[in-house]
Amino acid sequence: MFSIQIMRMSEGVEWALHECLNLTWLEPGEAVTAARLAKFYELPAAYLNKQLQALARAGILESTPGPRGGFRLARRPEDITVMDVVAAIEGPESAFRCQELVRRGPGDHEGVDYRKTCSISQTMRRAELAWRRELAAVTLADLKETVETRNPTVPGEVRRGFARLKV
């Protein structure tokens, strides 16, 4: 009743970030199937698979079909930013898309691109740029190091967790 509508980010973003972070703790070349990744957090496997495919198309993950196949990081953790992952899932477009409302109002609008000149559009774009900059400043390697510092047992738990899971 009070909040008419809420802008929200797909929950798939959180899934993707956690799974990518988990993949940083595997041995180089080792792959994990979508089924195991899903089981790790009790997520719906088929739907998580969809997100993983989006990450693969974006060049963040590599996929191998067949037995002993699965997903692994396509680049070093230092070269994958949080922004990369978010953009892969949420799409490259910005949250605010100027409809050029001003053009539909009175006055002369000959050859003016209000997506660039409209001061409201500029404000929204500047804010979104600040958001992107923050996310682009953090890499998977940063997250990895932070977690390892706070709780050194996590890497081992994750590796053993994947190995132990029965699919």
28-57: which residues touch a second copy (CB under 8 A)? 40-42, 50-51, 54, 57
Q: How far is CA 54 from CA 13, 29, 63, 146, in A?
A: 11, 20, 11, 26
Q: Token digits for 43?
A: 């997520």
Query: What's the min distance (Å) between Cβ of 42 and DNA?
Result: 11
DSSP E strands, 19-127:
61-64, 70-73
**Helix (H), strand (E), coil (C) string for 148-160:** HHHCCCHHHHHHH
Return the one option of DNA, a second copy, none that residue 130 interacts with (CB less than 5 to 8 A, by type).
a second copy
| DSSP codes of every residue in 102-144 | GGGSSS--TT--HHHH-HHHHHHHHHHHHHHHHHHT-BHHHHH
**Half-sphere exposure of residue 5: CA atoms within 13 angstroms, side-chain side:** 1
- Which of these ranges, 46-54, 99-107, 126-134, 155-163, lies near DNA under the rule CB under 7 A? 46-54
Near a second copy by CB under 8 A: residue from 38, 157, 163, 166: 157
Closest CB to a second copy among 47 and 67? 47
Which residue in the set 28, 29, 67, 92 belongs to the binding site for a second copy (CB under 8 A)?
92
Q: Which of residues 111-130 bind a second copy (CB under 8 A)?
A: 119-120, 123-124, 126-128, 130
Smallest Cα–Cα separation from 55: which of 94, 22, 9, 19?
19
Q: Which residues pair with 139 in a beta bridge?
A: 81
Residues that bind DNA (CB under 7 A): 1, 4-8, 10-12, 33-35, 44, 46-47, 49-50, 52-53, 56-57, 63-71, 167
- Chain contacts with a second copy (rule: CB under 8 A): 2-15, 17-18, 21, 40-42, 50-51, 54, 57, 82, 89-93, 95-99, 101-102, 104-107, 119-120, 123-124, 126-128, 130-135, 138, 143, 146-147, 150, 153-154, 157-158, 160-161
